[in-house]
């Protein structure tokens, strides 16, 4: 079997068709398809050798971060902010700012939590129906935050009033 035939057989076995691909790193024939995270987050082809080096580099990076955690022990974070999307948070902030300009004075705090929740549901239903007239997911997220905040305020007020009555203060 010729080298070209071996390449085709290998490529077919690895799901990359008969076409020849070039390794992203070294330019040799490549058969391994990988998404490389970087400036372009694109799919690239790697040869076996470069794929092994790439995997070792990733494993080394994981070990390095584990070593940093061993060298500088820190408490477990109960709220990992790294899971939040900065773009999503930015859209929420833009929406809240626009709302503040339209309805000055944080009037949303006067609306009951259940009303905010129902408005959030309305936005989700409109999104699911395909309505593109508004940023429904962002609006639903804002209303959910408002429901969360007003619910906490309503419950803390109720608890505070109950405590005050028990103490004979009201």
pLDDT given at position 85: 86
d(CA 104, CA 93): 15
Residue 48: closest CA among 15, 19, 20, 26: 26
Question: Three-state DSSP class for 22?
Answer: strand
pLDDT given at position 119: 96
pLDDT given at position 137: 95
Instruction: Sketch the domain layout of the chain as residue ranges.
Output: 3-71, 81-166
CA distances for 120 relative to 2, 95, 109, 117, angstroms:
64, 14, 15, 5
Is the pTM higher than 0.75?
Answer: no
d(CA 116, CA 99): 14
pLDDT by residue (tens digit) across 103-142?
888 899 999 999 999 999 999 999 999 999 999 999 999 9
pLDDT by residue (tens digit) across 1-29?
554 555 555 555 555 544 567 777 777 77
pLDDT given at position 18: 46
pLDDT by residue (tens digit) across 35-91?
555 555 566 677 778 778 877 777 766 555 544 455 556 666 677 777 788 889 999
């Amino acid at each position: 079997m010729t080298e070209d035939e071996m390449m085709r057989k290998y490529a077919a076995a690895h799901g990359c068709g008969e076409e020849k691909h070039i390794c992203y790193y070294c330019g040799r024939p490549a058969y391994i398809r990988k998404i490389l995270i970087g400036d372009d987050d694109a799919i690239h082809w790697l040869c076996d050798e470069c794929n092994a080096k790439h995997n070792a580099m990733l494993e080394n990076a994981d070990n390095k971060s584990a070593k940093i955690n061993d060298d500088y022990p820190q408490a477990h974070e109960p709220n990992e902010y790294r899971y939040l999307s900065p773009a999503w948070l930015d859209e929420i902030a833009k929406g809240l700012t626009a709302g503040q300009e339209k309805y000055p004075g944080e009037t949303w705090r006067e609306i009951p939590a259940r009303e905010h929740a129902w408005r959030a549901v309305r936005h989700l239903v409109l999104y699911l129906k395909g309505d593109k007239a508004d940023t429904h997911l962002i609006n639903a997220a804002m209303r959910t935050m408002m429901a969360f905040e007003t619910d906490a305020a309503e419950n803390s007020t109720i608890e505070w009033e109950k405590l005050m009555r028990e103490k004979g203060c009201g």
